[in-house]
């Protein structure tokens, strides 16, 4: 496993933050989402198929892995995986401890496609989420915990920001100063310290400042 894939002890707070964000996002979809019996596992394996297309598997044509898209798909899978884990009866701190342990156990086999198929098979057989098997995928593309956290929180904060600024009503302006909001997001995330306790709040604040300058111009 690459050195930065394992979760350092101080990161337990960051894992709890991700769990809280996922719960909040799921509540946006349905206030009582835990009792709806959503097929989270199905969303996971569908994303796995999309991920494999971005990585490449067709032997009859030249393909090069699109690692940025692969990582985006892994973050999407992480959203659904966290939702599965949240359905357990444990506290957020207990779930975070299990996640930290699982992320520290996964090591790439050296064959990303096979690791992805193994993860998909586990998902279909158990309808659960194997953090260790997911960690093998992270390791296979060199995606450490810090990058996973930054990308995950960034996408969630942007989703909340869009909703808070009229996305559903059609009044939200997606492009500012000639760039889409997700481009601004990447730039802001790169400037901030993801290990700060108020990372997600600072990220939302920075997005708001840029957006207000755009809409008031």
Q: Give tens-digit pLDDT for 118-140.
A: 999 999 999 999 999 999 999 99
- In this structure, is residue 24 part of a structural domain? yes
Predicted pLDDT of residue 3: 38
pLDDT band at 70 (very low <50, low <70, confident <90, very high): very high
Number of domains in the chain: 1
Predicted pLDDT of residue 2: 41
- In this structure, is residue 13 part of a structural domain? yes
Residues 6+ apart with CB under 8 A from 30: 36
| CATH code of the domain containing 143 | 1.10.4010.10
- In this structure, is residue 119 part of a structural domain? yes
Separation of alpha carbons 3 and 142, rounded Å:
10
- In this structure, is residue 3 part of a structural domain? no
Residue range(s) defining the domain that contains residue 53: 9-215
Predicted pLDDT of residue 217: 57
Name the burial class of residue 50, with classes exposed (0-12), middle (13-18) and buried (19+) by CB atoms within 10 angstroms of its CB: middle
Q: Is the dihedral of CA 111, 52, 143, 74 positive or negative?
A: negative
Q: Spell out the alpha helix ranges (H) of 87-217.
A: 92-103, 112-126, 131-140, 145-164, 181-191, 199-215
- In this structure, is residue 19 part of a structural domain? yes
- In this structure, is residue 179 part of a structural domain? yes
Residues 6+ apart with CB under 8 A from 57: 63, 113
Helix (H, G, I), strand (E, B) or coil at 179: strand
Residues 6+ apart with CB under 8 A from 109: 115, 136, 140
- In this structure, is residue 1 part of a structural domain? no
Q: Does pLDDT of 1 surpass 50?
A: no
- In this structure, is residue 4 part of a structural domain? no
């Amino acid at each position: 496993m690459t050195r930065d894939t394992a979760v350092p002890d101080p990161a337990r707070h960051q894992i709890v933050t991700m769990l809280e964000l996922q719960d909040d996002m799921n509540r946006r979809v349905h206030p009582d989402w835990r009792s709806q019996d959503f097929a989270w596992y199905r969303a996971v394996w569908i994303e796995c198929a999309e991920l494999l297309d971005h990585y490449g598997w067709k032997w009859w044509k030249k393909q090069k892995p699109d690692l940025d898209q692969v990582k985006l798909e892994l973050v999407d899978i992480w959203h659904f995986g966290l939702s599965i884990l949240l359905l357990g009866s444990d506290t957020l701190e207990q779930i975070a401890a299990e996640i930290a342990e699982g992320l520290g156990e996964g090591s790439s086999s050296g064959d990303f496609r096979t690791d992805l198929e193994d993860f998909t098979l586990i998902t279909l057989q158990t309808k659960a989420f194997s953090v260790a098997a997911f960690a093998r995928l992270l390791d296979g593309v060199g995606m450490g915990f810090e990058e996973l956290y930054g990308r995950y929180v960034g996408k969630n904060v942007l989703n909340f920001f869009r909703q808070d600024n009229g996305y559903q009503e059609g009044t939200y302006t997606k492009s500012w100063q000639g760039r889409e909001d997700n481009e601004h997001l990447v730039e802001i995330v790169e400037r901030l310290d993801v290990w700060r306790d108020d990372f997600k709040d600072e990220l939302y604040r920075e997005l708001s400042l840029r957006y207000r300058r755009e809409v008031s111009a």
